[in-house]
Structure 1
Amino acid sequence: MKNLVAVTIPIYKIQIDPIEQISLSQVIKKLGNYPIIFFAPNSLDTKNYEKFCEEKIPFVTERFNDEYFADIAGYNKLMLSKSFYKRFIDFKYILTYQLDAFVFKDELTYWCNKGYDYIGAPYLYVDLNTYPIKVLTKYRRLLDYLHSWNIPFYRYRHLGNGGLSLRNINSTLRLLTICNRSARSWTTLMEDNFFQYWGNVLFPIFKLPPEIEAARFSIELDPEKTFMAIGEELPFGCHAFMRYSPEFWKTHIEAEGYSIE
């Protein structure tokens, strides 16, 4: 029988900067009862991470070729490779937690039990005309047109950021097999765009949550407006909290006992 979920954390730097220390401290505090597995380049000296985790959680790491951590393109390639997900085949889900994410509460089992194949922060207020995958923009407009005529049809999901994301292992492996050629040639866009594109096109083979529900899982862009949209209740977590409206997030993060300069 498979374990339910593991928290997976990509690391590629020797030093852990102050913001990353906050992020790592919080995930250990809130999700330390789940398996936490770091994944890193073969050559990385992880002694600083080992020391940080000492007497808190076991330090467990999966190693991959250095090329996957050399730049964003390499990371995207790793996250669209079946070999990556096969490392975690003993789990039903993985939570991908980059060290610019922050988790507010332990709802991980709750979100796993929702049965979605991929969940990440939605893009509620992004101008579709600026979206890089033009065919997906046209697809959403077609769906909106059908709904305007009260024709029941699948409603497009505009999500979700991969920096704090929940992924079903078997469903992801199936998707990467079906879309093998696309995954191998997905070189100019972020890896999470792949799941948004094919998750919408191949519904119901690959299940994505509605956007508002995804916002209750994680917020990235437009945090103030998105926070209002979900009833001013903190989500499970957030991503890129020092990049998008850091002053907004500072209040909530400092309420957890941290100090952000």
Structure 2
Amino acid sequence: MKELVSVIIPILNPEINPTEEKLLHHCLETLASFPLIFITYEGADLSIIKEHNENIDVVHFPQKYFKSRQHLSSLLLMEDFYDRFNWSEFLLVHELNSWIVKDELYYWCKQGYDYLKAGPVYNDVISAKNNSISRFLGMNEAEKTSFANGYENNGLYLCRIERMTKALKGKNREAHQYRHTENMPNADSVFWDIEANRFWPYLRKPTDIVRNHFALNAITLDNTETRNLPFALTGISRSNIQQLPYFKTLPEAE
């Protein structure tokens, strides 16, 4: 019988900073009832990670996928990546820029969706967010780049493995193009949000309202929203954690 969900924690640079270490410790504590698996390259020094849990499970992939977040994008657009975890029905990919607010992972796995991720945050005037024609016919390079930038530090998503591999098979040519696009950050997020369901709905995705109950980019929070937070926050970094209203309320973040 398959596991319902496994939590995947990518480690690009084993020398994680104090903020990432804080997020790691919280993840290991909050999601301890689920299988937690680290992915990194062969030979990576995980001594800092093992200070938090000596008996960690690690799955290795070629080192080229851990040179940067952009290289990791390519791995997250490969069937082989999802096939390696086919003992589970779902994967929660949890990068160390995200924080689980409350353990609702079982609940979200049972909601009937194939892909859930916090929405993008746009920082420039070019935005295809509301341009349904562009989304359907295909974005130009400027729109894709703008869309991709909106996913900066947006490192948490829940997905159904079977549907992700089916989408990659059905969109093999497009996935190959995204894996080999050198100038697009967060290519995986653009592919799953824009390309996967273009012309044919491979993935069941939530409405924006439901998606916001799953996860929000923390930089969009204000003090009133912290009273009714989603399952998870993302977009957390060393440069902003002390300014985020939610973390100001936590004693350990002082």
TM-score normalized with structure 2 length: 0.81
**Shift of residue 140, structure 1, vs aligned partner:** 6.6
What is aligned with 2:171? Answer: 179
Of the structure 1 ranges 196-205 and 10-19, higher mean CA displacement relative to structure 2 is found in 196-205
Distance 2:50 2:84 in 1: 21
Give me the CA root mean square deviation. 3.0
1:233 aligns with: 228
Residue 129 (structure 1) shift:
5.9
Question: Contact 2:40 / 2:60 at 8 angstroms: preserved in 1?
Answer: yes
Q: Which amino acid aligns with 1:77?
A: S
Q: 1:253 maps to which residue?
A: 247
Answer with 215-224 or 105-114: which moved more. Answer: 215-224
Cα 1:209/1:33, change in 2 over 3 Å = same
Separation of aligned partners in 2, 1:185 and 1:59: 34
1:118 equivalent to 2:120? Answer no
Write the letter of the residue equivalent to 2:112: G
Equivalent residue for 1:156? none
- What's the counterpart of residue 108 of structure 1? 105
Gaps of 5+ in 1: 142-158
Distance change (3 Å), C-alpha of 1:201 and 1:221 = farther
- Structure 2 equivalent of residue 153 of structure 1: none
- The answer for the alignment partner of 1:165 in structure 2 is 157
Question: Is residue 88–residue 161 contact of structure 2 (8 Å, CA) maintained in 1?
Answer: yes
Pairs aligned (count): 236
Once the two structures are TM-superposed, the CA of residue 16 in structure 1 deviates from its matched residue by 2.5
Q: Deviations over 1:67-111 (max 9, x none)?
A: 001123321110101111111101011101111111111000011
Equivalent position to 1:138, from 113, 134, 138: 134
2: CA distance between counterparts of 1:36 and 1:185?
A: 31
Structure having the higher Rg: 1
Residue equivalent to 2:68: 71
The residue that corresponds to 1:6 in the other structure is 6
Spell out the pairing of 1:41-60 with structure 2 (5 A cutoff).
41-54=41-54, 58-60=55-57
Evaluate the alpha carbon distance shift between residue 232 and residue 204 of structure 1 in structure 2; reply closer, same or farther with a 3 A threshold: farther
Pair 183,130 (structure 1): closer, same or farther in 2 beyond 3 Å: same
Using the TM superposition, give the Cα deviation of residue 225 of structure 1 relative to its aligned residue in structure 2, in angstroms: 6.4
Deviations 1:172-214 (A, max 9, x none): 0000000111111102432111000124425543111111111
Q: Give distance in 2, aligned partners of 1:217 and 1:242.
A: 20
8 Å CA contact 1:101, 1:240 repeated in 2: yes
Q: Structure 2 matches for 1:31-50, cutoff 5 A?
A: 31-50=31-50
The offset of 1:3, in angstroms, is 0.7
Specify whether residues 221 and 24 from structure 1 end up closer, same or farther in structure 2 by C-alpha distance, changes over 3 A only. Answer: closer
Aligned counterparts of 1:73 and 1:139: Cα–Cα separation in 2: 22
Deviation at 1:22, TM superposition (A): 1.0
Query: Out of 78, 81, 87, which is 2:78 matched to?
Result: 81
* Matched letter for residue 230 of structure 2: P
Does the aligned pair in 1 maintain the 2:119–2:216 contact within 8 Å? yes
**Distance in 1 between residues matched to 2:155 and 2:237, nearest whole Å:** 13
Taking a change above 3 Å as real, the CA distance of residues 81 and 227 of structure 1, as seen in their structure-2 partners, is farther
SS at match of 2:51: helix
